[in-house]
């Protein structure tokens, strides 16, 4: 086999790897994908949208394609979230291996300078207690005294970051802002006037995730989110790349690659 053949095979292998890798990991979410159906009830959708708040997939500030998730609030009562749930007993706190997302704060925002989009995980303990584990930039290297970056995309790997807790039934905020997911998994618990915080463990179910802005944000806020990713174990990844329109299907990409290879073979035959 000649070096030229090896190079051609290497190119083919690389292109096919790209095609299959795209198929395995890409998850394009368009506006058409945000309506639950009987076949697929677990889809991304807006939630907790209060007067003055809005969220939509737009092309105003595209990221990794032709769109992203746009959030806007006006006034301290405004709020908007975007979230997804699932029913999978293997998706537990102990099995959570990676979490990340990209955010963007527009410089037109007049809300307090440290505020950026928030990332939340829904949980349910073995005893049935539920709540949220909440990531905010201000507790992970940010500061109320320092402006958050504006007019630029920021990619956050939040796997080992701090998450505070909002427990349900009764609703109570656990004001401990230096607790990691590993700490919560290890059984960290704290007192609260409304009751002790739920005790989490490796078997605590993660039942959904949420990104959002507000409430209590004075002024106006404009920002964006994209490439929301959560991984359990080695290869169970929920990945959302928000786009205004679908990109070519992975199968189409694979066919495109095969077509390129066929075109090359035809050209070689013609030269021969």
Residue 17 in any domain: the answer is no
Residue 60 in any domain: the answer is yes
Residue with tokens 């990221």: 63
Q: How many domains does the chain have?
A: 1
Confidence (pLDDT) at 195: 83
Strands of the chain, DSSP E:
28-29, 45-50, 53-58, 68-74, 79-85, 96-105, 118-124, 130-135, 153-157, 164-167, 172-174, 205-214, 220-232, 236-242
Residue 269 in any domain: the answer is no
- The whole-model pTM stands at 0.82
Residue 88 in any domain: the answer is yes
What does the pLDDT look like over 83-121, one tens digit per residue? 999 999 999 999 999 999 999 999 999 999 999 999 999
Residue 182 in any domain: the answer is yes
Range of the domain at 179: 46-245
For residue 97, the domain's CATH number is 2.60.120
Residue 137 in any domain: the answer is yes
Residue 93 in any domain: the answer is yes
pLDDT at 165 over 50: yes
Residue 251 in any domain: the answer is no
């Amino acid at each position: 086999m000649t070096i030229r053949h090896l190079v051609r095979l290497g190119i083919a292998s690389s292109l096919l790897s790209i095609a299959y890798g795209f198929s395995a990991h890409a998850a394009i979410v368009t506006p058409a994908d945000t309506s639950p159906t009987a076949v697929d009830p677990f889809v991304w959708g807006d939630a907790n949208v209060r007067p003055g708040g809005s969220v939509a997939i737009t092309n105003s500030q595209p990221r990794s394609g032709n769109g992203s998730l746009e959030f806007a609030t006006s006034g301290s009562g405004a709020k908007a979230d975007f979230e997804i749930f699932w029913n999978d007993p293997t998706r537990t706190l102990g099995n959570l291996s990676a979490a990340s997302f990209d955010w963007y704060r527009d410089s037109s925002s007049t809300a307090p300078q440290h505020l950026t989009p928030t990332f939340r995980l829904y949980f349910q303990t073995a005893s049935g207690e539920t709540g949220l584990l909440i990531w905010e930039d201000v507790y992970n290297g940010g500061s109320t005294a320092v402006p958050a970056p504006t007019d630029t995309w920021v990619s956050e790997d939040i796997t080992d970051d701090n998450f505070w807790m909002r427990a349900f039934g009764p609703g109570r905020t656990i004001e401990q802002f230096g607790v990691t997911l590993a700490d919560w998994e290890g059984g960290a618990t704290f007192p609260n006037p409304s009751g002790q915080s739920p005790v989490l463990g490796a078997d605590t179910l993660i039942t959904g995730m949420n990104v959002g802005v507000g409430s209590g944000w004075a002024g106006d806020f404009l920002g964006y989110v994209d490439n929301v990713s959560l991984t359990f174990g080695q290869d169970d990844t929920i990945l959302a790349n928000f786009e205004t329109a679908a990109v070519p299907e992975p199968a189409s990409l694979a066919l495109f690659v095969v077509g390129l290879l066929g075109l090359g073979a035809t050209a070689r035959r013609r030269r021969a």
